[in-house]
Every structure is written in structure tokens, then in C-alpha cells.
Amino acid sequence: MITDKRQKNKLASCHRRKLWQDKVIKRIFQGSAILAALMILFIYFFVISRGIQPFLPSYDGDQQNVLSFLTGNRWRPDMNPPIYGVGFIVINTILTSLGAAIISFPISVLTALYIAKVAPPKLRAVLTTIVELLAAIPSIVYGVYAAGTITGLVDDFAGLFGISTYGGNSALAVILLLAIMIFPTITSLAVVSIRAVDRNLELGSIALGASRMETNFKVVLTSAKSGIFAGLALGLGRAFGEATAVSMVAGNRMIGPTLNPFDITRTLTTTILTGMHETSPGLDYDMRFSVGIVLLLVILVTNLSIQYVKRKVGGITNE
Amino acid sequence: MAAFKVENINLWYDDNQALIDVSLDIPGNQVTAFIGPSGCGKSTLLRCFNRMNDLLPNTRIEGNIIMQDGREISDPSVDVVKLRTEVGMVFQSPNPFPMSVYDNVAYGLRCQGIKNKKQLNTTVEYSLRQAALWDEVKDSLQRNALKLSGGQQQRLCIARAIALEPNVLLMDEPTSALDPIATAKIEDLMQSLKRMYTIIIVTHSMSQAARISDQTAFFLLGKLIEVGPTTEIFQLPKDKRTEDYISGKFG
């Protein structure tokens, strides 16, 4: 009787301890999630509150006009009074990043399909490692590579058309550099999502008389759509956000937009980065935060557009 | 007339022999049920009829499966893609593609290169009617097939196979993932389909085999133990092992 009671007590205390553990662990998870969310909020809050200062009447420097900032086609901080127009830079940024995505996306998806579905196991392991290594190369290394090699290629290529470039520094060099940089990002996400496709779907397709390739293109890619487009979004995010490497081959065009691929260009990130260390607190410093707001907006709009495109691709709307 | 004559089939996965000297006839326009405990080789044999075993590496098959036209199924003159349009397959768990209901049914035809809109429309409607799904989906053909219920999805998979106008339907435990009501619908469907198609069904449910099949084959450890008309197998099994299995002594 006594032992029975003791055992019951023991069980009850064990049960209480488990409940208590569950609660603590739940709080830890919750705390981490909140912390991560707060970081994003802090960054947004800081950049935005700083970036809108120059446009407010209370600003203690030369107050800037929002409209001429957003639509301007000149960036001349060296003039007196300085001119800050970001419109053409937005167009340059979108053109170079989209150009990179247009080159990189199809190659990435086909590579991913090859790695996940076609390649023999040994080659698959080698290719996966290569893609992972590419993703791990620091952007500054991509930058010196682009400055040393891609610019030369672009210069030679332009020479074929009798066009002279600024030593190869050009929008095209930026596009090629970014295409290489976002390739591993898109590819590795696409590989993961293609691998996750239910094997039964493939068997179902083959049992209906479809060939392997028909199955891969019509069923596997459609099923992996979400992950592939998530990869595209991340890749574009990297393209929009890359500053270091891009600034090494972009040149520093002060008016625009740059529509000629062999001409030098200027992106939002290079605008923020260039001369950051030479400038002193004041308008020129604060305007970089304003450019930061624009960059955040561009990325937000791009992600929304990708969501929209994703729904349209593959013939079905995700209800 | 036999849809398939299976003659002395032996099949190995690597070194494991999954089928041992199996011979039987599959009569046309009837329902043949394969029963037996897990791992007895019944699904393996089913996959021989549309050569899905070809997809597994290290699989070796000996013996013959003679088709209705007299050719052996693995004969080089047999186009495996064409074979799979003539021998449709329905899987254990419903596997509709992540596309619209319409595109699912039209999938096989489109792979055959058929683009004619009118022909596709006609076949999609016909197949969905045959699969007893038309009335439930006729107003939402563009809806994502994954939004259908499990039972509807499985009937969609049947419609998808029917769209290719096969002679034979292979069904690998088609109701094991479904509730009793959805199961009853599929069983009713099979009764009406057998007038037009030869059906081979693998099932774990003895009562299902008894309800819907004309012929039953009992497998154990890769061997065909007994095959015959369903009523005989269930009422007067000749082999002790068959009797033990259907009376629930093991399985």
C-alpha cells in the first residue's frame, strides 16, 4: 500500500517535471523567434527613421524633395548644391539584377534537375560539393575575379563591335558577375525542393506512358515550383544586395539610366558603399540611409512579383 | 480469352528472390485479385504487367508474360511507353499531379502528343464519367486536384488511367488509404469498369477480394499457392495455407 502510494507520487512528480520542462522549452523557442523578429524591426526602424530625415522640414541641413529624389536621373554629391536623384539608380539596379537572374535561373534549374534526377550518384556528390563551395566563396573574391577576368572578357567582346569600354567596367560585367554569384543560391534550393518531390508522382507519370524527361519537366518541376521560386527570390535578393563585388566592376556613373550594357553603371548598393569612409556626418551620410530605404522597397516589390509569377507558372493558381 | 499468360516467372531484387516460378492466366474482362501477406510478391508481380520493375536497378526477371497479341512482354518489339498506355495503373495512395483536375486527366494524352482541344475535352469528360467523378467536378475542372478529397483523388487517378483507353487496369491496394465510404465507391466503380477493362487488383482486404473479384490468386513468400474462381478459393480452398490465411490464422 505504502509503495503504491510512493510510486504514484513519483509518477505525479515526473509528470509535473515534464510539463514544466515543456513550458520552459516552449518559452526558449518563443524567445528566439521574437529576438529574430525584433532584429529585423530594429534594422527597418533605424534605416527608415534615419533615411527620411533629409526630407523633413525639421532637417538641420538642406531639406531634400522626395519627388525629385525618387525620380531624379543624376547623382552629383560633388556639386554645389549637391544633387541626389535615385530614379535612374533604381532602374540600373533592377536591370542588372534581372539580367543576372535571366541568365542564371534557367541554368540553375537545369543543373539542379541534373544533380537531383539524372546524374549518377558519384557525379551527383561531386556536383553538390561544387555548388556548395561556390556558395561559400566570399563576395570580395568574386569581386577580384570579376575585376581581373570578366572585365577583360567584356572589353574584348565590346571590341568585336568596335565599342570601347571603361576597361571592361560595365553593366554587362555586373550582370555576368551577379549571374555567377546567384547561381549556387538558386541551384542548391532547387536541388533540395526537387529531391523532396514525392516519388509516387514520378511513378504515376511514368505509368501513364510519359518518358523520364517528360516526367521531369511536367511533373517534377511543377511539384518543386515553390522551392525553386524561393531560390529565385533569395538569388535576386543576393543580386540586389551585393555591394562589394559589384562596386569593383560597376564604374560610377553619375547620370543615367544605363541602357547600354557596355557602359558603366551605378547600383543602389554601390551608391551606399562608395565614399562611405570619406564622408562626414551630414547630408551626404544621411542620404545613404534614404537609398537604403529605396533598396528595401525594391526587394519587397520584387518578392511580391515573384509570388505573383509563381502562381501563374505551372498552369494552376494556388487557391 | 486470357489478357496475360504468366509462364514460370522468377524475379530477383539483387540476391533476394521475390517471385518463384509463378504461372497463371489473367482472364480478360474480369477482376483478378492478388492476396497474401506483406512481402509475398503480389505487388511485384503486378508491376511486371506494365514493366514498372524496369525502373528498379538490379532487378532480374526470368520467364515469360504473354500478352493478348501473342508477344512476350519484354520482347524488344514491345514499346514500353505504348505498353503503359495499354496497361494503366492506380497506386496505393492517390497521387494526382499538382495541376488542375482537367490537366491531370489530359496528362497521358498530352504526353502522346495529342493537342486537339476538342478531343481532349471529350476524353476528359468521358474518363471522368467512367470514373464516377464527373458530377462532382464538372464545375471545377480548373481547380487544383490536390484540393479534392482522398476518395475523389483516387477516382481522378482512375480517370487519368482510363483516358488512355487501356485494356488492363492494374490496381495496387487502391483503397488502403481511403475511408469505408470512399472504398465502397471505388469497389462499385470496379464492378462497372470490368465490362470494359481487365482488372488486376492487389488487396490486403480479404473481404474486398471476396466482394469484387471473379478470380483470386493467393501468394506466399514469392510463390503462387493457389489460384481459382473467387468463390472456390474462399469456400473450398484446396491448400491448407490458403485456408489458414483466409480464415485469419496468419497474415
Same domain for A232 and A101: yes
* Cβ proximity of A220 and A117 under 8 Å: yes
Average pLDDT of A18-23? Answer: 90
* CA A136/CA A195 separation, integer angstroms: 22
Q: Which residues of chain B have pLDDT under 70?
A: 251
φ, ψ at B197 (rounded to 5°): -130, 155
Whether the per-residue pLDDT at A319 is higher than 80: the answer is no
Assembly ipTM? 0.90
Which set of grid coordinates corresponds to residue B66? 504473354
pLDDT of residue B86: 93
Mean pLDDT in residue range A44-68: 90
Give the 3-state secondary structure of residue B155: helix
- A122 shares a domain with A33: no
Rounded to an integer, what distance in angstroms lies between the CA atom of residue B118 and that of residue B66?
A: 36
C-alpha distances (whole Å) from B176 to each of A297, B206, B208 are 51, 12, 11
* CA torsion angle A281 A285 A286 A290 (round to 10): -170
Closest approach of chain B CAs to the CA of A218, in angstroms? Answer: 9
Mind listing the pLDDT tens digit for each residue in B47-69? Answer: 999 999 888 888 999 999 999 88
- Tell me, what's the pLDDT at A247? 92
Q: Is A127 helix (H, G, I), strand (E, B) or coil?
A: helix
The string of DSSP letters for B60-96 reads EEEEEEEETTS-BTT-TTS-HHHHHHHEEEE-SS---
User: Which CATH number belongs to the domain containing residue A85 in this structure?
Assistant: 1.10.3720.10
Q: How far apart are CA A176 and CA A154, in angstroms?
A: 9
Instruction: Tell me the C-alpha distance between A40 and A257, whole Å.
Output: 31
Mean pLDDT of A145-171: 92
Average pLDDT of chain A, as a whole number: 91
Q: Which residues of A touch B (CB under 8 A)?
A: 198, 200-201, 203-211, 214, 218-219, 222-223, 225, 314-319
Q: What is the pLDDT of residue B38?
A: 87
pLDDT of A132 strictly over 90: yes
Joined together, the cell numbers standing for residue A11 give 509518477
pLDDT at A19 over 70: yes
A176 and A206, same domain (yes or no): yes
**A159 shares a domain with A29:** no
Any idea where the domains of chain B sit in the sequence? 2-246
Instruction: For residues A185 and A228, state if they share a domain.
Output: yes
B50–A207 C-beta distance less than 8 A: yes
CA distance B98 to A222: 7
Pairing of strands B223-229, B87-90: unpaired
Instruction: Spell out which residues of chain B touch residue A207, defining contact as CB-CB under 8 Å.
Output: 50, 52, 84, 88-89, 91, 161
Q: Is the predicted pLDDT of residue A317 greater than 60, yes or no?
A: no
> Does residue B176 sit at the A interface (CB-CB below 8 Å)?
no
Rounded to 5 degrees, what are φ and ψ at A185? -60, -50
Give the rounded distance of the alpha carbon of B177 from its chain centre. 15
* Pick from B85, B99, B143: CB nearest A209: B85
Q: Taking phi first (over 0 means left), then psi (-120 to 50 degrees means alpha), and beta for anything else, what does residue A194 get?
A: alpha
pTM, to two decimals:
0.84
Residue of B nearest to A314 (CA): B99
Q: Is B116 exposed, middle or buried (0-12, 13-18, 19+ CB in 10 A)?
A: exposed
Mean pLDDT in residue range A29-49: 94
Query: Range of A151's domain?
Result: 66-312
What pLDDT was estimated at residue A318?
Answer: 43
Predicted pLDDT at A277: 79
In sequence order, the 6+-apart residues with CB closer than 8 A to the CB of A293 are: A47, A48, A51, A52
Same domain, A86 and A138: yes
Domain-located, residue A296: yes
- Domain check: are A107 and A245 in the same one? yes
Same domain? For A213 and A85 the reply is yes
Cα maximum dimension of chain A? 101
Q: Is residue A57 part of a domain?
A: no
Number of domains in chain A: 2
- Measured between alpha carbons, how far is B198 from B187 in angstroms, rounded to an integer? 14
Asked whether the predicted pLDDT for residue A316 surpasses 80, the reply is: no
Q: Do B89 and A219 touch (CB under 8 A)?
A: no
Which of the pair, B3 or A115, is modelled with greater confidence? Answer: A115
Chain A contact present for B88, CB below 8 A: yes
Q: A37 and A123 share a domain?
A: no
Give the closest of B93, B143, B164 to A208, CB-based. B164
Would the CB atoms of B95 and A201 count as touching at under 8 Å?
A: yes
> A208 vs B99: CB contact, 8 Å cut-off?
no
Same domain, A37 and A84: no
pLDDT, position A3? 67
Q: Is the pLDDT of residue A212 over 60?
A: yes
Q: How near does any CA of chain A get to the CA of B78, in Å?
A: 13
Q: Is A31 contained in some domain? A: yes
Q: What is the pLDDT of residue B251?
A: 60
Going by the DSSP 8-state scheme, the letter that residue A253 receives in this structure is -
Confidence at A1, pLDDT banded by 50, 70, 90: low
CATH of domain B2-246: 3.40.50.300
- The residue to which cell 471473379 is assigned: B214
